[in-house]
Chain A
Amino acid sequence: MMESLAISLVDALPVLSGVPLWTITLLVMVMVAAVVLTFALTYSGLATYVERKVAGDIQARVGPNRVGPVGILQFLADGIKLLLKEDIIPAKADRFLFVLAPYLVFIGSFAAFVVVPFGVGLIASDLNIGIYYLMAITSLVVVGVMLAGWSSNNKWALLGGMRAAAQIVSYEIPVGMALLPAVLIAGSLSLQDIVRSQGGLFGIFGWNLFHNPFTFLSFFLYYVAALAETNRTPFDIPEAESELVSGYHVEYSGIRFAFFFLAEYGDMFVVSALATACFLGGWHVPFLDAEALPALWGNLLSLGVFLGKTLSLVVLMMWIRWTLPRLRVDQLMRMAWKYLVPLTFVNLLGVSLWLLLFHGEGIPRMIASLFG
């Protein structure tokens, strides 16, 4: 992917023909990484603003409205504030781990952007084990959170870290199980392949969401489990302001705190993007065939559609956060092991049987074949 980009760059600019290919490939890689990171950071900043606005609206308040028009520059002001704040490391903290933890969380969350299929050709790296990679790399967050809790040498932080580990490990299982139907239907772990398998039928009825009743349920199971995996209310027991002060990042300040914060919003995007790619047709534009369009328009339209779907899911997460109260620890565990895990198993079995019985045909496609 990167090499082909580099080759096309050399073709376009004959000046570069003397330069060895690997340098250009490296350059392209760095540039793509910079673009993706810039997008991720801008999105995270804006998401904090939107979150506060949504919270304000739901609580009959206004939300930030002073910095810039309707407060849209609030996130920049917050970012500058966090950059300028004193960076405090507790005296009894394990300095190395304390410093390392926010980077692990940040990497775990933002490395996942690599395989997010933004558009027809807009994917930093179309790994053939995309979903697997994504699940694996987001697990790095657990390590970071645990380290943060442990190294702070603070009982609240430690409790928060332990809870986070228990929670994320528990919810990985239903998340994986709920995603498997999409993998089964596409027959591939690559996210681009999964998205492509949902094309046709006006770009809406090809979605895995409508493939069969089990996939429909699967989407909601995935969404609930993913919500828990991102440590957001109602599943935010690792942070739990009212009982653990703010959990694993209680001792963090300044830019290190900002890393945790950005990672949380990055996680939200990744999880929503995965839901979009696996169940909501990814970048497929309704009523149009994005892949048949000219490259520029196809990419732009599909990017817009993908971001639209994903950001709607992000807003839905915020809406849920400001609606529901926090679950107790035992309730959280019960929900994972007694409800989500069995349901996703049954669901997976259902999808498998469906695919076996109907030779991989979904309900919309059967109806379409009835009409010829």
Chain B
Amino acid sequence: MGLKDYLYDIWEAVATTAKGMRITARYGVDPRETITLQYPEERWEPSERFRGFLYNDIKTCTSCTMCVRVCPVDCISLESVRGADKKMVLASYDIDIGRCMYCGLCVEVCPPKSLKHTSGYEKASVDRGELILHFIHEDAGEIKARVAKQVAEAAAKAEAEKAKAESEKAEAEKAEDGEPDSRAAQKDAPPSAQPAAPADAAGNPEDGGAAEKKPGEEKE
């Protein structure tokens, strides 16, 4: 190593140190360079399309179970029963936000657009159970019982009306004939039994959903 290299090394050490110190001085002095957010006092505003916690507007939800089927991590669970007016009634709708990976597939697939991402991102809990978001606060059993009761009432009412109509008809027919009584009873039986049967089947939609999803996955 010649003297020239030796002196050059010294010069380089001084120059590079000065360069580095100029950079750190800029960061140190310029308040705009401070990027820390004083979190509890200042909050980060998520952008418009931020995928935060999921929110399901249960009033518009049709319990179609599309979200349950599409979820890659199976974090959505849904229970529903068919109500008296033939529409599905949600018994429970839970999202395990601790398992959710915020892929947004459920939101994309939701036909009535009831499932949405909110801007929420603050959730800390001491228990994993707290991470499950319940969108229906009533007990699922109570809802099912209530719906079943409503269905039964409606069926009873329908039966009563049918019976009433039939008796009227029978009376009218009696006046004429009296024969087709048994035929009418056979025809009426299936509609009155139908509302009860799907309610049983929908009792555990997860099983049905999983069973239906499997072939779908194989197709893909």
Interface positions of A (Cβ within 8 A of B): 54, 57-62, 65, 319-320, 322-324, 339, 343
Q: Is the CB of B36 within 8 A of A58?
A: no
The residues of B that contact A57 with a CB separation of less than 8 Å are 27-29, 34
List the A residue with the shortest CB-CB distance to B9: A339
The B contact surface, by secondary structure, is: helix
Q: Is the CB of B36 within 8 A of A61?
A: yes
Which residues of chain B are near A323, meaning CB under 8 Å? 17, 20-21, 23-24
B23, closest chain A residue (CB): A323
Is B197 interfacial (CB-CB < 8 Å)?
no
Number of A-B contacts (CB under 8 A): 38
- Which residue of the partner chain, among B10, B20, B27, contacts A60 with CB atoms under 8 Å? B27
Known: A319-B21, A323-B20. A54 touches B28 (CB 8 A): yes
Q: In the bound complex, how far is the Cα of B36 from the Cα of A19, in angstroms?
A: 62
How many chain B residues sit at the interface, stated as a range, is 10 to 19
Contact yes or no, A58 B27, CB < 8 A: yes
Question: Measured between alpha carbons, how far is A226 from B28 in the docked complex, in Å?
Answer: 24
Give the contacting residue for B24; candidates A61, A62, A322, A339; CB below 8 A. Answer: A322
Interface string of B22-45 (1 = CB under 8 A from A): 011101110001111010000000
Query: How far is the CB of B36 from the nearest CB of chain A, in Å?
Result: 5
Given contacts A54-B28, A57-B27, contact A62 B20 (CB under 8 A): no
Contact A60:B33 (CB < 8 A) given known A324-B17, A339-B10: yes
The reply to whether B10 and A58 contact each other, CB–CB distance below 8 Å, is no
With beta carbons under 8 angstroms apart, the residue of B9, B10, B28, B33 that contacts A319 is B28
In the complex, what residues of A have CB within 8 A of residue B23's CB?
323
Task: Return 12 A-B CB contacts under 8 Å, by A number.
Answer: A58-B28, A59-B27, A60-B34, A61-B35, A61-B36, A65-B38, A319-B28, A323-B17, A323-B21, A324-B17, A324-B20, A339-B9
Q: Inside 8 A of A60's CB, which chain B residues have their CB?
A: 27, 33-36
Pick the contact of B34: A62, A319, A322 (CB < 8 A). A62
Q: Which residues of A contact B28 (CB under 8 A)?
A: 54, 57-58, 319
Query: Once the chains are docked, how many angstroms separate the CA of A208 from the CA of B31?
Result: 36
The CA of A59 and the CA of B20, in the complex, are separated in Å by 13
Contacts of A61 in B (CB 8 A): 34-36
Quote the shortest CB–CB distance from A178 to chain B (angstroms): 15
Shortest Cβ gap from A174 to chain B (Å) = 14
Find chain A residues with CB under 8 A from B25 CB. 319
Q: Which residues of B contact A322 (CB under 8 A)?
A: 24
Task: Name the residue among A58, A61, A62, A322 with the largest chain B CB count within 10 angstroms.
Answer: A58
Question: What separation, in Å, do the CA atoms of A65 and B34 have in the docked complex?
Answer: 14
Which residues on the B side are within 8 Å of A319 (C-beta)? 21, 24-25, 28
Q: How far is the CB of A195 from chain B (nearest CB, A)?
A: 28
Q: Mark B47-72, 1 if CB is under 8 A from A, else 0.
A: 00000000000000000000000000
Closest to B18 in A: A323
Q: What residues of chain A lie closer than 8 Å to B35, measured between beta carbons?
A: 60-61
Q: With A and B bound together, what is the CA distance between A261 and B20 in angstroms?
A: 27
- Give the 3 A-B CB pairs with smallest separation, nearest first: A57-B28, A323-B24, A58-B28
Cβ distance B211 to chain A, nearest Cβ, rounded Å? 53
Give complex CA distance A211, B23 in Å.
Answer: 31
Known: A320-B21, A324-B20. 8 other contacts (CB 8 A): A57-B29, A59-B27, A60-B27, A60-B35, A60-B36, A62-B38, A319-B28, A322-B24
